[in-house]
Amino acid sequence: IHWQEMDGLIAAWRQRIAALPCRFVLVRLEQGHQLLACLLAIWQLNRVAVLASQSPANLGLELVTDPHDDSIFGVIPALTDAADDTALLLFTSGSSGTPSAVVKTFPQLDAELALLESCWGQWVDDAVFATTVSRHHMYGLPFSLLWPVVRGSPFYSDTIHYSQSLELLCQRFPLTLISSPVQLDHL
């Protein structure tokens, strides 16, 4: 997908999200290009994206459903002191207790992306970014979606769940694989 098509997706998301009565918007999109378009629309509307890998009810979020799209919701979170430059509200997995909200501001995201580029930018060249990690995760999003976009690198839109898919991609493109130690061990 090129930027011209992406502009159309962003405009469509912006129209749907503008009708929501909440500042916080829960996003449940798996495809990377759709998630990116939705995030950009949210940010253009000066709203905050909420990414959660588990049920919003488990996180104490009250939802306001968009009647036209079951993948986005307005959210009334317990967190009410988010700063004006808040970009994202993510949640930890809760593996060590109750899931915790993690607030990411635009300056924080910018610093994280600059750090990723300074640490690993010289090794990824023009490789296609692919991920086995959910883009709703606090590391999956910057590593596998935001960083390639900011650096102008292509990314594979789907999350890779099977080693056969990864093998096919490796035959077609040089890859930068974003993964976790557990997933790498399985490969």
Q: What is the pLDDT of residues 12-51, one digit of tens each?
A: 999 988 888 778 888 888 899 999 999 999 999 999 898 8
Task: Please give the residue that has the higher pLDDT: either 36 or 79.
Answer: 36
pLDDT given at position 62: 59
pLDDT given at position 79: 57
Rounded to the nearest 5°, which phi and psi values hold at 135? -75, -5
The contacts of residue 147 (CB under 8 Å, 6+ apart) are 113, 116, 117, 129, 153
pTM given for the model: 0.87
CA distance 84 to 106: 10
DSSP secondary structure letter of residue 162? S
CA distance 101 to 148: 25
CA distance 24 to 35: 15
The contacts of residue 77 (CB under 8 Å, 6+ apart) are 24, 50, 60, 61, 62, 89, 101
Mean pLDDT score of the chain, rounded to an integer?
Answer: 84
Strand 72-76, strand 24-27: pairing: antiparallel
